[in-house]
Structure 1
Amino acid sequence: MRPLIEAAEAAGAVRLDVRWTLGGPSRESDYAAGHLPGAVWLDFDRDVCGPVGAVGGRHPLPDPEPLQAVLRAAGIDDDSHVVVYDDGDGMAAARTWWTLRWAGIEDVQVLQGGLNAWTAAGLPLETQAPQPKPGTVTVRPGALPVLDAEDAAAWAEERELVDVRAPERYRGENEPVDPVAGHIPGAVNLFLGEDDLADTAGLRERYAAHPDAAFYCGSGVGAARTALAVTEAGMPTPPLYIGSWSDWVARGREVATGEES
């Protein structure tokens, strides 16, 4: 199954609204102002990610039990078809897709273009919050490959570790979020832009040259969008260092700057 779905194909699915802004307030008021019919609101930071600690990154993995409770409250069963959407940049939606896949839920897709594509297609929104019948899904974590800091360091030495942040962040010239600038020693840079998700042929050509790559970003959100792109290109979903740069620097690990040779 393709991980991306067009607006006209999204009928009959459990719909999850995960609109989110990095460092911004909750988008629940936007959900209340208008969302896809039947869509359930999930707070990305609270419901999709785990609590932030001293290490683990800014968007750590959730614990299975609270994640399962959230998904059951949204009406998800083990065999449900789930469609996730955000505004359209694919960031929060891709990380939610990845998290649900990691949790053992197979039939999950991201609405390509998000809410913007839905409304551009002339499809309706609603303001009433649904009251879904509680689901019976069982969260089974570990269905997708995950790296920790030690794994990421070894991957950079032995295979190919790819940093998908903007080039200036990778080189350490600008770091708007985390307290230390730079990249993991040995990692290479391959930035994924928002518009690249729509170019399936280009994605296939781009990532076919990196068949053994694992990916990271600032906090595991952009890396999940890259995993979505790789999967959309018809290749296996790659390993992610889900704690990413925010976990790496919190652990006081060695930092590189500039370009790798």
Structure 2
Amino acid sequence: MTFPFSLTAAAVALALGPTLAAAADFGPLVTPQELSALVGKDAAPLVLDIRGEGEDGYGGGHIAGAVNAPYQLFRGPAENPGAVPDDATLTSRFRELGISREQPVVVVHQGSDDTDFGAAARVYWTLKSSGVSQLAILNGGVNGWKEAGLPLSTEAVTPNPSDIEVTLSDQWLADAGDVQAAIDGESGALLLDARPESFWKGEEAHPAAARPGTLPDSRDLPHSSWFQGDGALIDASAAAGIAQDGGIAPDTEVVSFCNTGHWAATNWFALSELAGVEGVKLYPESMVGWSQDENHAMSNVPGRLQNLWNQIKGN
């Protein structure tokens, strides 16, 4: 039997067993109604609630059976929050959360605004780069779930540990070397800034950034471009239209960046998972990491800082 992805297809797949469920089309977005039909089934997906554990997050009510996996578990230290934890750390954390490559995973965020979605997209990217292929994000998050009139639980869930071994793939990962190659014209990759225009212009900067500004020859495509008025993401067709209008073809190589790989994860998700652009990579450390190396060139740095940087380079 062949089904297009829909609520019926997913429900049938799960009813017939884990093997077929894993083979069925899954994600990259699910609606509250679709997820509700899967929760509690024998072969239900692992639901990861990435909000904090307090009363204003997981502790105040979550989808029944969801495991609390706070966003910070997938992030770096305060001085460089965009950094990706190493393989050993990810392996330990994934095992404790019960993440495996066999069970589909749904990532759930609050759904408060477009910035909040970046957390879900960054966790999705980390899971996909770790070899978890059956993935989805709950479109609209917990807020969308509540707006659909669906119930929440306050019963904490203790996950069953897994035996996953993580080796992060570089298929969707860009590092400083990839960025430099794009700047030097060696790769032809488009450097795409996901931040609001004020950051791209150097008028604002992240507190952990050493300098305001952006990557040389980058283009600005704010992460907020991909959302409907209700806080949910647009569909694949609309995402493909935005990419096309921006001159981003399906075979365009893109390096998505922002301040700490948060907003950039939204651009990566929308282009890679919705619009079908195959060569999109995320630069996790983004401008915080890049700006902390004084040898890295930047554009749109305010005049005094730019002159200082030029003097340093001249010496």
The 10-residue stretch of structure 1 (2-11 or 124-133) with the greater mean CA deviation from structure 2: 2-11
Residue 191 in 1 paired to residue 216 in 2? no
Does 1:168 pair with 2:195?
no
In the alignment, structure 1 residue 241 sits paired with structure 2 residue 271: no
Contact 1:162 1:214 in 2 (8 A): yes
Q: How far did 1:27 drift?
A: 5.2
Kindly indicate whether structure 1 or structure 2 has the higher relative contact order, using CA contacts under 8 Å at least 6 residues apart. Answer: 1
Q: Does 1:232 align with 2:274?
A: yes
Alpha-carbon offset, residue 237 of structure 1: 6.0
Contact 1:182 1:257 in 2 (8 A): yes
3-state SS, counterpart of residue 280 of structure 2 = coil
Deviation of residue 190 (structure 1)? 1.1
Would the alpha carbon gap of residues 115 and 144 (structure 1) be closer, same or farther in structure 2, given more than 3 Å must change?
Answer: farther
The 3 A distance-change label for structure 1 pair 174 and 222 is: same
Query: Which of 107, 110, 117 is matched with 1:87 structurally?
Result: 110
Distance 1:224 1:28, change over 3 A: same
2:256 maps to amino acid? F
Partner of 2:307: none
Gaps of 5+ in 2: 1-25, 39-43, 302-315
Deviation (angstroms), 1:170: 0.2
Instruction: Tell me what 1:31 maps to.
Output: 58
- The reply to whether residue 255 of structure 1 matches residue 298 of structure 2 is yes
Verify: 1:68 aligned to 2:111, yes or no.
no
Q: How many residues matched?
A: 248
Please, which of 123, 128, 146 is the counterpart of residue 173 of structure 2? 146
CA contact (8 A) 2:29 2:136 kept: yes
Which structure 1 segments of 5+ residues have no match? 20-25
* Shift of residue 157, structure 1, vs aligned partner: 3.7
Check the 8 A contact 2:100/2:132 in 1, yes or no. Answer: no
Deviation, structure 1 residue 140 = 2.6
| Contact 2:27/2:137 (<8 A) preserved | no
Deviations 1:23-82 (A, max 9, x none): xxx55332111111111111212x1123456xxx32211111221222222222221110
- How far apart are the structure 2 equivalents of 1:199 and 1:41? 27
- Identify which of 212, 216, 224 aligns with 1:181: 212
Q: 1:16 aligns to what SS in structure 2?
A: strand
User: In the alignment, residue 232 of structure 1 is paired with which amino acid?
Assistant: L
Is the contact between residue 258 and residue 286 of structure 2 (CA under 8 Å) also seen in structure 1? Answer: yes
* Structure 1 residue 143 displacement after superposition: 5.4
TM-score (norm 1): 0.88
1:199 Cα deviation (Å)? 4.1
d(CA) in 1 for partners of 2:240, 2:180: 26
- 1-side partners of 2:288 and 2:206: how far apart? 12
Match of 1:214 in 2: 255
Instruction: Report the equivalent of 1:48.
Output: 74
Residues 106, 42 of structure 1: CA spacing in aligned structure 2 closer, same or farther, 3 A cutoff?
Answer: same
Q: Identity over the aligned pairs, expressed in percent?
A: 29
What secondary structure does 1:234 align onto? coil
Counterpart-to-counterpart distance in 2, 1:203 and 1:157 = 29
> Partner residue of 2:313?
none
**How many angstroms apart in 2 are the aligned matches of 1:27 and 1:144?**
32
1: distance between equivalents of 2:54 and 2:284?
A: 25
Q: Is the 8 A contact 2:254 2:279 kept in 1?
A: no
Structure-2 residue corresponding to 1:23: none
